Each structure stands twice: as structure tokens, then as C-alpha cells.
A and B are shown apart, each in its own frame.
Chain A
Amino acid sequence: MLFSSNARGAGRWALSVCVLALGFTGCEKVDSNSAPSGSTTEAGSSETMDATPSTIVIDGSSTVYPISQAIAEVFHEQHEHVEITVTQSGTGGGMKKFVVNELDICDASRPIKQEEIDKCAEHGIEFLELEVAIDGLSVVVNPQNDWVECITIAELKKIWAPDSKVTKWSEVNPAWPDEPIALYGADTDSGTFEYFTEVVNGKAKASRTEYTYNSDDNLLVQGVADGKYSLGYFGYGYYAENKDKLKALSIKKDDSSECVAPTPETIEMGTYAPMARPLFIYINKAALKRSEVADFAKFYLTEEGQKLVTDQAFVRLPADKLAAMQERLAEALK
């Protein structure tokens, strides 16, 4: 590394300041190999120092944030001495910190990318990938909309393609009203945007640009709820919390498939394809050696943890997937 030669110098400098300023007291370097930021207390020696475990540091996707927040809150209630911080920098932002050993856990609404795996290898970081929940992207319209119940991916593509010229409902399907269509969607930095464009337009981040976008999904909900001729998309949670104001459309994958509405059951069973996506956590394997991090990771996959997933308006893992994830974690803890 570029600055590695300076590192030791800076360390010695800090040490000597400690000693100079407080001659009669002690200042010692703590082995921090397995301790990301914030976790300065007895890091790396959790077996012997269990009374004061380090802080568990989590960052990453804002979609997964409500899950990790709920898990952290309940886990802290049960293990009062374990302190946790959860931050949301987006999947990409979280990964940037994860690959340089600043995090214990990174929330992600998409699988890790190859370049991120390479960076991990470069910094000597091994990680464990766990699926913890499923999200179903919901395509929603105004409740007063009585002309469409089910929409095909092809129709969605007609509306959302980068070169789309569609401005009226009738241009998508002649049977629909000759009224301007008001579009609402995720902002371009989000994993939601990446996933939706990938599924609908076949290429991540390829989308028409003239629509209302906002990183605050509540504004999108409001927009669709206020206009009779509007259409929007966002995570299932925002639909589930606003069912009285919105109407979710069923999705028809192709001509041979049936219309499937987004419900917890269809999303869990995988029939709400292709709009259902898995949500992940990535755990630093060095951090996983600390007992509190191991317990915390296990908690995501317990019955109680999955119940919290459901409470936060996401969809729990199907039984076989859950068992597979539990096994993967147990294997890593051996």
C-alpha cells in the first residue's frame, strides 16, 4: 500500500505523544487486526474479554436498513452489553467501506460485484454472504384506475425503455384511456432502480429519464396516490404500508405465464417473478470470530429474526432457503 511505510511512523508518533503527555500512565497498542472502525475495545481477543465486547458496525443498502435496524434493536434488548451502529450509505457506498475492513456487516440489495470481490481479496478480507429476506418490487397505480389489473413486462418496457416516447396510456395499449401518463420511479442511485431497469429493460441503469424520481419513496407514494393517471414502482414495503392509497398491478412475465399479484406468499414462493429480489448481508469473516457478531448473524436466521423481517413489510425466506443459509453460517462458524 502507498502509505504503509508512514503507518508505522504515525503509530510510533501517537505512542510517544501518549507517553510524553502522561508519563505516569500507560498507553498501549491494541491488536486490531479483526476490529473495524469503532470497535476499539479488546478487539480480537473476545474469548478472554467477553465482558466488554466491541461495537458491531453495520452499513450499506437503505432498502435492507429497516431489517438490520429491527434486528439490531431486538438483539440489543436481549444482549444489553453489545452495542450496535447501523448506517445507510447505499449498497455501493457500504461495499466501499466493507472492502477496506471498516465494517463488520454490509447490507446489500444486490449480490456483491466481481470488482468488489477483487478489492476484498486485495485487502485480505474474507466474507460470508447470507440471504436474509426477499423484497418484491411493486408496480402501482392509483386506486381509481379501473382499466388495468395486470401488466406485462413487455408493456412495462414500452413505458420505461430509454428511448420510450410513451406519454399517454393509449400509446401502450389502445384499450386504455387517451390520457397523459404520470410516471414515478426510484432515483438513479438506488439498488431498486438498478434492479427494475435490469428486469424491465434488460440492462441495469438503462431507463427513460423524463419521470418523477426521488430517493424519498414516500413522495412517490404520494404522487401516485394523488393522480388518477399515474404509475410508479418501489419496494413492496411502501405498497404494503399504503394499501388504502395505492393499487398494485399483477405482473405477467411473458405470454406463456400468468398474472401474479405481489403478496407475501407469491414473493416467498418465487412465483412473483421476475420482480422479487433477494436481500443480502455480507459478513466479514474475521469479525465473525467475535462471539457477539456470530450471535448477531445467527439472529437474522432465527424464527424471531424472520418474524421481524415480516413486521418490517418484507418477505421472509422460504423454509428450504432459510435452512440452507443456517447451514452456510454454521459451516463458517466451525
Chain B
Amino acid sequence: MRCTISTLHDEYARQLERRHRAGTFFAGFCSISTWSSVLVLAVLLGAVSWQAGDTISWRFLTSYDSRNAENAGVLAGLLGSIWLIGLTALFCVPIGVGAAIYLEEYAKPTWFTRMIQLNISNLAGVPSIVYGILGFTAFVRMFGIAKEAYRLNLGFTTVNFTLPFGRSLLAGALTMTLLSLPVVIIAAQEALRAVPPSIRHAAYALGATRWQTIRHQVLPAALPGILTGVILAMSRALGETAPLAVVGAATYITFAPGKIDSLADLAANPGGLLQAPFDGFTVLPMQIYNWVMLPRAGFRQVTAAGIVVLLLVLFLMNGIAIFIRQRFQQKIRW
């Protein structure tokens, strides 16, 4: 068979076209993947917002739950969720980041640290209900010790609490801390690992101690990544219902943690902020779950409105975190 220049050229052109087609196809596939998830989210948001209709109002945000759909509000769940996430972050971030720094910067790679590492990875996949049962045993009941009530007099306020913690916000937050820790630790480790070793070497070469290197070079560089992990963990905690149901979050509650449900309350009773962790509580997903189950048709709207509020809180949290992350990212100059 004779092979002319022109047939070779044709063959090449055909193959080139095929390769271009494959490229276009792949790009199309990727963009469809993106847009379909955006579309699903948009449909979900649209449908829920449409269902919620005019239920979302200032009244809805500032009233407690009610037997009548038109009076039902989300205040107890909203404040409960904010408290819970706040306390969880307070416990989870120092412990999680501390553990990650230890594992990445200090610990020698022995079989023991490798085992810890493996266990943390496994814990990240444990179903949340298991943490609920653990939290119930460890914090709500404290392995069955007899319950005692205490009153702590701080001069300007008194704090009433019990040991074990009972079905309190604190027990819930500690349970959520256990649940969030593996995710935070793993994300923080990844972020620390992504800091180039040359940065550490340079710091040591200039005479910085290990603590100075971590404090001034490694941590700032890893912070955006750490924050991403924290946001993911907190977002997951915000939507959890099952472990909190086990720990004993209430369905209906007539008060907010610390009896503070307005700025006026806060001004009149700042000591309530210290009392709050020991009070009973409910959270947004618990309220939504309860509304779904109620027989009255009016609660369909209330449910949708509750979901919109939960999503708004989630967006707000993520927004703040992205803002913080970008501020830190801009500061890094090597």
C-alpha cells in the first residue's frame, strides 16, 4: 500500500479531531457535573422558600414554638443552635488543632502515633448516633454517679449546675466536640503538612525555636486550611439531630439558654451567659424534625420556614469563615 503525504495528513487531521472531541466531551462532562449540583441546590432552595412563603418573618424568628402553626416560631432552636455551635467550636478548635500540631510537628513516627493516626481516621467515619450514646454515658450520666446539684456564687451572679451534667447544653456541646474532633484534626494535619518544609528550615536557620517557628510561620500559613476543616465540622454539627436526641435535647422548651432571648435580657442578666451551658436546650434540626411529624397541614409551611432559617444560618457561618480565611490568606507572603 502506498502512503502519500496527503493521506497521512488526512489521518492526522482525523485523529486530531477525535482528540479534540474527547477534550470537549470531558470539559462538557465537568461543567454538567458542576451545574447539575448547582441546579439541584437551586431547585431545593426555590421549592423550600416557595413553600415557606410568608411564614418567615420577624415574628417567626423571635417567638417560641407553639401548638398553633401560625404562632410557631424558631427562637428556641435558633438560640440553642448558636449556643451549641459556639461552645462546640470553643472546645473543639483548641483540642483539635493542638492534637494536629502534636502529630505533625512534635510526635515521632512510631507505631504508637501511627495507631493514633489510624484511629482518628476511623473515628471520622463513625455514625453520629454512636457519639450520641457515648456522650449520653460520659457527660449526661457520667457513668452513673449519683446526681448532685451545686450552686456557684460568683459575687455578681450565681450559677446552678449539676454533676453529672444531665441533659444540658454543655453535655450536648461536649458530645458534638467528640463528633467534630476527628474531622478537625485530619483537616488541620493536612493543612500543616501542606506548609513547605523549606519554611520551617528557613526559620530554624535564622535561629527560631520550634515554638517560634510553629507560632509565627507554620500556623499562620496553615490557618486557611484549618479553618476550612473547622467550618466543615461545624456545619455538620449544626445539622445533626440523632446524637442530640440521645443526649436529651428537648423538643419543646419555654426558655432560651440562660433565659436570655433578647438584648434587653442580656443587659438585665449578663450572668445568664454563664448559666446557659447548664440549661436545657433544643436545636433547629430537632424543631424541624418535630414539625415534619405533626399532623396539622399548617406545619408544612412552618417546616419549610425552619429549613430556610437553618440554611441561612449555615450560609452565614460559611460566609464569615470564608471572609476570615481570605483575610489570613492575604497576609501570607513568602
Q: Which residues in A have their C-beta under 8 angstroms from that of B279?
A: 38
**Which of A22, A30, A218, A308 contacts B149, CB < 8 Å?**
A30
Interchain CB contact under 8 A, A69 and B251: yes
A32 vs B162: C-alpha distance when bound (angstroms): 9
Q: Which residues in A have their C-beta under 8 angstroms from that of B142?
A: 10
A37 vs B146: C-alpha distance when bound (angstroms): 11
Q: Which residues in B have their C-beta under 8 angstroms from that of A14?
A: 148, 150, 163
- Tell yes or no: B145 within 8 A of A by CB: yes
Within 8 A of B (CB), among A83-102: 83-89, 97, 101-102
Cβ distance A204 to chain B, nearest Cβ, rounded Å: 23
- Tell yes or no: B152 within 8 A of A by CB: yes
Chain A proximity mask over B287-306: 1 for CB below 8 Å, otherwise 0: 00010111111000000000
Interchain CB contact under 8 A, A85 and B254: yes
Chain B proximity mask over A72-92: 1 for CB below 8 Å, otherwise 0: 110010000011111111000
Q: Which of A236-244, A247-255, A283-291 is the contact stretch?
A: A236-244
- Tell yes or no: B253 within 8 A of A by CB: yes
- Tell yes or no: A259 within 8 A of B by CB: no
**Which of B145, B150, B293 contacts A29, CB < 8 Å?**
B150
Known A25-B153, A218-B292; judge A40-B67 contact (CB<8 A). Answer: no
Within 8 A of A (CB), among B237-267: 245, 248-255, 259
Cβ distance B79 to chain A, nearest Cβ, rounded Å: 14
- Tell yes or no: A122 within 8 A of B by CB: no
- Tell yes or no: B135 within 8 A of A by CB: no
Q: Which residues in A have their C-beta under 8 angstroms from that of B294?
A: 66, 218
**Which of B66, B151, B163 contacts A10, CB < 8 Å?**
B163
Interchain CB contact under 8 A, A29 and B155: no
Interchain CB contact under 8 A, A30 and B160: yes
Interchain CB contact under 8 A, A65 and B153: no
Interchain CB contact under 8 A, A32 and B280: no
**Which of A2, A28, A70, A216 contacts B151, CB < 8 Å?**
A28
Interchain CB contact under 8 A, A218 and B148: no
**Which of B162, B251, B297 contacts A37, CB < 8 Å?**
B162
Q: Which residues in A have their C-beta under 8 angstroms from that of B65?
A: 69, 73
**Which of B145, B167, B296 contacts A6, CB < 8 Å?**
B145
Chain B proximity mask over A281-319: 1 for CB below 8 Å, otherwise 0: 000000000000000000000000000100111000000
Interchain CB contact under 8 A, A38 and B168: yes
Interchain CB contact under 8 A, A38 and B167: yes
- Tell yes or no: A111 within 8 A of B by CB: no
- Tell yes or no: A333 within 8 A of B by CB: no
Interchain CB contact under 8 A, B153 and A26: yes
Interchain CB contact under 8 A, A2 and B144: yes
Q: Which residues in B have their C-beta under 8 angstroms from that of A242?
A: 295, 297
A281 vs B180: C-alpha distance when bound (angstroms): 37
- Tell yes or no: A225 within 8 A of B by CB: no
Cβ distance B129 to chain A, nearest Cβ, rounded Å: 14
Interchain CB contact under 8 A, A22 and B152: yes
Known A10-B142, A30-B151; judge A85-B162 contact (CB<8 A). Answer: no
Cβ distance A258 to chain B, nearest Cβ, rounded Å: 28
A2 vs B150: C-alpha distance when bound (angstroms): 23
Interchain CB contact under 8 A, B145 and A87: no
Interchain CB contact under 8 A, B152 and A18: yes
Interchain CB contact under 8 A, A85 and B280: yes
Within 8 A of B (CB), among A186-241: 215-218, 221, 237-238, 240-241
- Tell yes or no: A147 within 8 A of B by CB: no
Q: Which residues in B have their C-beta under 8 angstroms from that of A57?
A: 167, 280
Cβ distance B23 to chain A, nearest Cβ, rounded Å: 47
Q: Which residues in A have their C-beta under 8 angstroms from that of B143?
A: 3
Cβ distance B52 to chain A, nearest Cβ, rounded Å: 17
When C-beta atoms are compared, the residue in chain B nearest to A5 turns out to be B145
Cβ distance B249 to chain A, nearest Cβ, rounded Å: 7
When C-beta atoms are compared, the residue in chain B nearest to A65 turns out to be B251
- Tell yes or no: B161 within 8 A of A by CB: yes
When C-beta atoms are compared, the residue in chain A nearest to B160 turns out to be A40
Most chain B Cβ neighbours within 10 Å, of A18, A59, A85, A215? A85
Known A40-B278, A87-B248; judge A7-B152 contact (CB<8 A). Answer: no
Cβ distance B191 to chain A, nearest Cβ, rounded Å: 34
When C-beta atoms are compared, the residue in chain B nearest to A2 turns out to be B144
Interchain CB contact under 8 A, B254 and A27: no
- Tell yes or no: B225 within 8 A of A by CB: no
Interchain CB contact under 8 A, A73 and B248: no
When C-beta atoms are compared, the residue in chain B nearest to A22 turns out to be B154
Interchain CB contact under 8 A, A38 and B166: yes
Interchain CB contact under 8 A, B151 and A11: no
Known A1-B146, A311-B67; judge A40-B251 contact (CB<8 A). Answer: no
- Tell yes or no: A279 within 8 A of B by CB: no
Known A28-B151, A32-B149, A66-B67; judge A313-B295 contact (CB<8 A). Answer: yes
Chain B proximity mask over A12-24: 1 for CB below 8 Å, otherwise 0: 0011001000101
A32 vs B259: C-alpha distance when bound (angstroms): 21
Cβ distance A169 to chain B, nearest Cβ, rounded Å: 27
What residues make up the interface of B, taking CB atoms closer than 8 Å to A? Answer: 65-67, 140, 142-155, 160-163, 166-168, 245, 248-255, 259, 278-280, 282, 290, 292-297
* Apart from the given pairs A28-B150, A86-B251, 16 other A-B contacts in the complex at a CB distance below 8 Å: A18-B150, A25-B153, A28-B153, A29-B148, A29-B151, A30-B150, A31-B149, A38-B168, A55-B255, A57-B280, A69-B252, A73-B254, A85-B254, A102-B167, A241-B295, A312-B67
Q: Could you show 22 A-B contacts with beta carbons less than 8 Å apart?
A: A1-B146, A3-B144, A3-B145, A7-B145, A10-B145, A18-B152, A25-B155, A28-B151, A29-B150, A37-B162, A37-B167, A40-B149, A40-B162, A57-B167, A66-B67, A84-B254, A85-B250, A86-B250, A87-B250, A89-B245, A216-B293, A240-B295
